[in-house]
């Protein structure tokens, strides 16, 4: 068991991780809203959660990881209606697409994916308790709201809302997403109206559907218990989504809901957050359409800390592609010195492993871990077999797919072309570089 240090949004400090239960981690990640193809900024959130999980497992923890699929909310309802599909039909399509995408990014599936629509009963029970505890109230139309003034800790995660909370204390918000300017009572249960069409549940509160925030509280508490170790999401979920999750869950149990809140920073384009609404986004298909493997995107992200903003430019991704291909080439050129079952398998280099562990458990310092990977591959004093074993060990965390590379030596010709392309790029001869890439891919 190795100590892990993690930045906690709640304390705004890097903390030593101590689990609620020895050797075990209960991890919850806010998953996708399945209403469209996610953009690659969204995938930053899932690559981060995956890397965190891999680091925890690498450090010796048994990780129970839940990721939800938001298959009912304002966006899914609205978009399914536009396409004239049932909500189920519509969300199942994007769920399948999501599964394919994450597999292509070497994101390991969580212990369980949970669909919000499977947990409406649990949501109703939570809302019932919140009404009993007088933290929630019914409005005239039958919708139920959380009363943020009744929850003294409201704002403890995001830290900035208390003043505004007073200013807007009488305000109420029914839509699922709203910004910092609007710390308001938020909807737990939305009474049915025409816009919802066929989407409703008949419950003791009447006909309606849950709000978005209650979904994660319900699934997290049902699958992982009233208290969990780590909850992840992108930084934009801190407020209001995660703040509201805390209010709902702690409002029911009176116990601390989450010990460590972990958030990834934004993927930017031209200095602005990549977002569907800003229409400045790329999808994984845009990447593969250029002949670039999705794993390259993962590799590129790992070159930066998850807590720094990174600006997406194609040139940088192509640079990462060249580097990763070089790594793959050098790895496969290590040959087949470790045929399984011969007893000659290499062993993981202890000192490198120690350093690697130290880096990745230091708030997921993947940039330093990658530098170490290059050190290993270039180390003149290590046997090929040991290098391979060490790289495969690192790859448990990095997820770059070394184990899947075919055990064959990359032809000299390809390595030469890769070098030539590097030079072409350095000389900014992009036409030549594109031609060379096509040739390399062909080979
Ligand atoms: P959504 O489907 O909108 O709930 O978003 C899914 C995940 O992507 C959430 O964890 C968001 O915080 C995250 N996310 C959205 N946009 C970005 C971005 N530009 N960079 C990094 N993460 C993002
Ligand atoms: Zn969530």
Give the C-alpha distances (Å, rounded to integers) separating 243 from 151, 180, 239, 292, 387: 11, 11, 6, 38, 46
Give the number of whichever ligand sits closest to the CA of residue 312: 1
Q: What's the pLDDT at 181?
A: 54
Measure 45 CA to ligand 1 centroid, in angstroms: 6
- Cα of 208 vs centre of ligand 1, distance in Å, is 27
Which ligand has an atom closest to residue 212 CA?
Answer: 2
Rounded to the nearest 5°, which phi and psi values hold at 169? -55, -25
pLDDT value at residue 164: 47
Does ligand 1 come within 6 angstroms of the Cβ of 214? Answer: no
* Atom number of ligand 1 nearest to Cα 31: 6
Encode pLDDT of 139-149 as tens digits. 999 999 999 98
Summarised one tens digit per residue, pLDDT across range 210-219 is 999 999 999 9
Beta strand 310-311 with 267-269 is: parallel
- Whether 74 is in the pocket of ligand 1, judged by its Cβ within 6 Å, is no
Euclidean distance between the first and final Cα of the chain, in Å? Answer: 44
Nearest ligand, CA 45: 1
124 lines ligand 1 (CB under 6 A): no
Q: How far, in Å, CA of 300 to CA of 319, rounded?
A: 9
Gap between the Cα atoms of 409 and 40, Å rounded: 32
Q: How far is the centre of ligand 2, averaged over its atoms, from the C-alpha of 251 (Å)?
A: 17
* Rounded-to-integer distance, Cα 135 and Cα 148, Å: 8
Q: Which of 91, 236, 282 to mutate to test the pocket of ligand 1 (most atoms within 8 A of CB)?
A: 236
Under a CB-based contact definition with an 8 Å cutoff, are residues 186 and 173 in contact?
yes
Atom 14 (ligand 1): residue with closest C-alpha? 42
Q: Are 322 and 422 in contact (CB under 8 A)?
A: yes
DSSP-based three-state secondary structure for 26: strand
Q: Return the half-sphere exposure (C-beta side, CA atoms, 13 A cut-off) of residue 243.
A: 30
Q: Looking at ligand 1, which atom is closest to the CA of residue 32?
A: 2
Q: How far apart are CA 383 and CA 389, in angstroms?
A: 10
Q: Which two tokens stand for residue 244?
A: 């509201």
Cα angle value 323/374/289 (rounded, 5°)? 20
| Ligand 2 centroid to residue 380 C-alpha, Å | 48
User: With a 6 A CB cut-off, is 437 part of the ligand 1 pocket?
Assistant: no
> How far lies 78's CA from each of 68, 73, 195, 198, 358, in Å?
20, 9, 8, 11, 47
Dmax (CA) for the chain in angstroms is: 76
- Ligand 1 close to Cβ of residue 231 (< 6 A): no
Determine whether the shortest distance from the Cβ of 274 to ligand 1 is under 6 A. yes
Please indicate whether residue 28, judged by its CB atom, sits closer than 6 Å to ligand 1: no
Residue 36: CA count within 13 A, CB half-sphere: 17
Residue 7 CA to residue 94 CA, distance in Å, equals 32
> pLDDT (tens digit, 0 to 9) for every residue of the chain, 443 residues total?
899 999 999 999 999 999 999 999 999 999 999 999 999 999 999 999 999 999 999 999 999 999 999 999 999 999 999 999 999 999 999 999 999 999 999 999 999 999 999 999 999 999 999 999 999 999 999 999 999 989 999 999 998 555 545 555 557 777 787 765 557 899 999 999 999 999 999 999 999 999 999 999 999 999 999 999 999 999 999 999 999 999 999 999 999 999 999 999 999 999 999 999 999 999 999 999 999 999 999 999 999 999 999 999 999 999 999 999 999 999 999 976 554 444 457 999 999 999 999 999 999 999 999 999 999 999 999 999 999 999 999 999 999 999 999 755 567 788 788 889 888 988 999 899 889 888 887 77
Q: Which of 29, 38, 45 to mutate to test the pocket of ligand 1 (most atoms within 8 A of CB)?
A: 45
Ligand that lies nearest to the alpha carbon of residue 233, given by its number in the listed order? 1
What's the whole-model pTM score? 0.90
SS3 178: coil
Residue 49 CA to ligand 1 center (angstroms) comes to 12
């Amino acid at each position: 068991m190795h100590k892990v240090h993690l930045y906690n949004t709640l304390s705004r400090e890097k903390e030593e991780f101590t689990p609620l239960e020895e050797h075990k981690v209960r991890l919850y990640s806010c998953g996708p809203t399945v209403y469209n193809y996610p953009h690659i900024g969204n995938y930053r959130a899932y690559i981060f959660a995956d890397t965190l999980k891999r680091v925890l497992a690498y450090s010796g923890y048994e990780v129970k990881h839940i990721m939800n699929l938001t298959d009912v909310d304002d966006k899914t309802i609205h978009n399914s209606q536009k396409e004239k599909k049932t909500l189920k039909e519509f969300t199942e399509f994007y769920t399948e697409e999501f599964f394919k995408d994450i597999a292509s990014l070497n994101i390991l599936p969580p212990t369980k994916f949970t669909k919000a629509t499977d947990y409406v009963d649990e949501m109703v029970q939570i809302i019932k308790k919140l009404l009993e505890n007088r933290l929630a109230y019914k409005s005239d139309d039958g919708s139920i709201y959380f009363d943020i003034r009744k929850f003294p800790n409201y704002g403890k995660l995001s830290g900035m809302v208390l003043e505004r909370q007073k200013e807007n204390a009488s305000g109420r918000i029914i839509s699922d997403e709203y910004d910092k300017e609007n710390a308001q009572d938020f909807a737990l249960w939305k009474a049915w109206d025409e816009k919802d069409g066929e989407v409703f549940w008949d419950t003791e509160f009447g006909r309606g559907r849950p709000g978005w925030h209650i979904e994660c509280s319900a699934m997290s508490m049902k699958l992982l218990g009233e208290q969990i170790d780590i909850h992840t999401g992108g930084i934009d979920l801190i407020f209001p989504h995660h703040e509201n999750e805390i209010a709902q869950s702690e409002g029911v149990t009176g116990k601390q809901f989450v010990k460590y809140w972990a958030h990834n920073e934004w993927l930017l384009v031209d200095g602005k957050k990549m977002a569907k609404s800003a229409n400045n986004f790329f999808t994984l298909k845009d990447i593969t359409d250029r002949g670039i493997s999705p794993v390259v995107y993962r590799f590129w992200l790992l070159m930066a800390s998850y807590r720094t903003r990174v600006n997406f430019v194609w040139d940088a991704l192509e640079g990462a592609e060249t580097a990763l291909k070089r790594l793959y080439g050098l790895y496969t050129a290590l040959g087949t010195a470790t045929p399984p079952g011969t007893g000659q398998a290499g062993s993981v280099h202890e000192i490198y492993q120690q350093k690697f562990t130290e880096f990745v458990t230091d708030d997921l310092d993947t940039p330093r871990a990658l530098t170490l990977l290059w050190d290993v591959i270039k180390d003149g004093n290590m046997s090929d077999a040991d290098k391979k074993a060490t790289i495969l060990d690192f790859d448990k965390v990095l997820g770059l797919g070394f184990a899947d590379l075919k055990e064959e030596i990359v032809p000299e010709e390809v390595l030469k072309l890769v070098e030539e392309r590097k030079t072409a790029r350095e000389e900014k001869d992009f036409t030549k570089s594109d031609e060379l890439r096509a040739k390399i891919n062909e080979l």
